[in-house]
Structure 1
Amino acid sequence: MEFILDTINLDEIRDGVDHMPISGITSNPSIVKKTAPDDFFEHMREVRRIIGKERSLHIQVVGTTCEDMLRDAKRIFEEVDEDVYIKIPTSYEGVKAIKALKAQGRNVTATAIYTVMQAYMALEAGADYIAPYVNRIANIGGDPYDLIDKVESRIAMDGYDCKILAASFHALGQVEESLAAGAQAITAPYGVLKTIFGNINISQAIKDFNNDWYDLYGDNKKVSDL
C-alpha cells in the first residue's frame, strides 16, 4: 500500500513527508498552476531534493501527440532526473507513447483513466502505474470501485507488474473505498490525507488518557520527566 501526495507545494510536501508514510509525489498541469513556480524545472528538482530518490516522483507531459509526449519526457529526464515516472494520459496517442517509453526502459504512469478498457490498454502497453480518476468517474455516473476491482483482478490473473494508483479524490471516504476495492496506491491532496487525523474522538481519547496520567503524577509531568 502506498500513500502518495498529489501536490507540488513545497511546504505541504515537507510537512507531509515528515509526518506521514509518504512514498511519492504526483503532479499534473492543474496542480502546477496552483503553485505557479517561476522556474518549473528548478521547482521539481527541489521536490526531488525534499523527497529523495527512495520516493517516486510523477511528472505529467502536456504534448498531445506521441512525438510531443516523448519530447516532453526527454526534457523532464534531462532537467530533473532519469528516475521520474512520466505521466502519460491514456489516449490513443498516449498508449503509443507508453509503449515507446517502456521500450526505452523508462518509468511510466498511465493517467486520465475513466474506463476499464483504457486501463487494460495501459496494462498491456507496460505502464508501471495506472491512475483511474475516482471522483471524476463517479461524477459522470460511473463506478470507480468496480473499475478498480476489475483491473486488479486482471493484474492478478495475468501477472502484470503494475499497480493501480487511484487518483482524483473529493473526500477521505473515496480513498478508503479505493483501497478496499484493490488499489495498491492512492494519490491524494495534502488536505484530504490530513483529515484522517481530524476525528474529534482521537483528540478526546488522548486528552482523557493524559488527564488520568496527570492526576496520578502531576500536571504536565510526562513519562520522560519521571
Structure 2
Amino acid sequence: MRFFIDTAKIEDIRTAADQGLIDGVTTNPTLLSREGGDWRDRAKEILEVVKGPVSLEVVAEDAAGMILQAHDLKKMGDNVVVKIPMTPEGLKAVKTLSSEGIDTNVTLIFSPLQALLAAKAGGTYVSPFIGRLDAIAENGMSLVEDIRTIFDNYGFTAKILVASVRHPMHVLEAALIGADVATVPFAVLQQFVHHPLTDKGLASFLGDWKKLTGGKW
C-alpha cells in the first residue's frame, strides 16, 4: 500500500518525506486555504519536495472549465494529478483528460456505483471518503470492500485511494481489503510509528545501557 499525506502544510510534508513515509500528496481548496498565502506558490513548493503524485483540485463546475483548469495545473509539474469532483460534468472532464493522458483523481465518492462510473470514465484514482460516511452512521469501510470487489470483477485499473481517514484503524482495514493508497493527515500518519510496548522496550534498553557504560558509546 502507498501512503499519501493529506495536507498543504509544507513543514509536515517535509517531515513525512524525510521519514520515508509518503509516496505522494493530496490537497484540496480547504487545505490550501488553511495555510494562506498564494496557493500557486505553495503548490509549486509541494511539487519540489515530493516527486510522487500530487493531487491539485479544480474548482470549475462545468466540464469545459475543469479541463481548462486541469491544463493550467499540469503546467506546474509532470507529477500533478488533477482532482475532479464526482459530478456529471466531472465525468465528462475525466473522460477527456484521460484521453489526453492526464492523470485524474475523482474525489467525493460515497457509493460503489459512483466509483464504477469514475473508473469507466478513465479516472486514474477514485477517492472514497470513508470518515465522512462513518460520521453519518454508515460503514465507510464497506464502501472500500465493494469498490475492490467491483474493480477486481471487471479488471478496472483505477486505483482505490482511501480518503477522509480519521485514525490508524481506517488504514489497517483498508490495507487488509487491498486498497491501493491511503491518504492520511500528518497526525494520523505519526500515530503509526508509536506503540506503548516499543516505547517501554526502548526505555528499558537505554536504561540498561546507561548502567553498563554510564551512557557513553
Could you state the TM-score of these two structures normalised by the residue count of structure 2? 0.94
Alignment pair present for 1:75 and 2:33? no
> Which of 167, 175, 190 is equivalent to 1:179?
175
Question: Identity over aligned residues, as a percent?
Answer: 28
String of CA shifts for 1:119-152, please: whole Å, max 9, x gaps: 0001111111111001111122322211111211
Map of 1:58 onto structure 2: 55
How far did residue 108 of structure 1 move?
Answer: 0.7
Distance in 1 separating the partners of 2:99 and 2:74: 16
Give unpaired runs (5+ residues) of structure 2: none
Say whether the 8 Å CA contact 2:141–2:170 is kept in structure 1.
no
- Whether the 8 Å CA contact 1:133–1:168 is kept in 2: the answer is yes
Q: Give structure 1 regions of 4+ aligned residues with deviation exceeding 3 angstroms.
A: none
Contact kept in structure 2, 1:146 and 1:181, CA below 8 Å: no
Whether the aligned pair in 1 keeps the contact of 2:112 and 2:146 (CA below 8 Å) is: yes
CA distance in 2, matches of 1:132, 1:205: 38
Stretch of structure 1 that moved more, 149-158 or 159-168: 149-158
Residue 140 (structure 1) aligns with: 136
> What displacement does 1:45 show?
1.0
Q: Aligned equivalents of 1:34 and 1:24: distance in 2?
A: 20
1:118 is matched with 114
> Amino acid of the residue matched to residue 189 of structure 2?
L
Which of 186, 193, 199 aligns to 1:190? It is 186
Give TM-score scaled by structure 1 length.
0.91
Distance 2:79 2:211 in 1: 54
1:159 correspondence with 2:155:
yes
Post-superposition CA distance 1:18-56 (Å, at most 9, x none)? 0132100100011111111x222121111111113xx11
Describe the SS at the equivalent of 1:98. helix
Mean Cα displacement is larger for which, 116-125 or 193-202? 193-202
Secondary structure in 1 aligned to 2:192? Answer: helix
Q: Report whether the alignment pairs 1:219 with 2:214.
A: yes
Structural mapping, 1:84-123, within 5 Å = 84-123=80-119
Determine helix, strand or coil for the equivalent of 1:86: strand
Matched with 1:13 is 13
What is the one-letter code of the residue matched to 1:103? S
Q: 1:204 aligns with which of 200, 207, 210?
A: 200
Paired residues of 1:4 and 1:24 also in contact (CA < 8 A): yes
C-alpha distance in 2 between matches for 1:95 and 1:5: 25
Distance 1:96 1:142 in 2: 29
Structure 1 gap segments, 5+ residues each: none
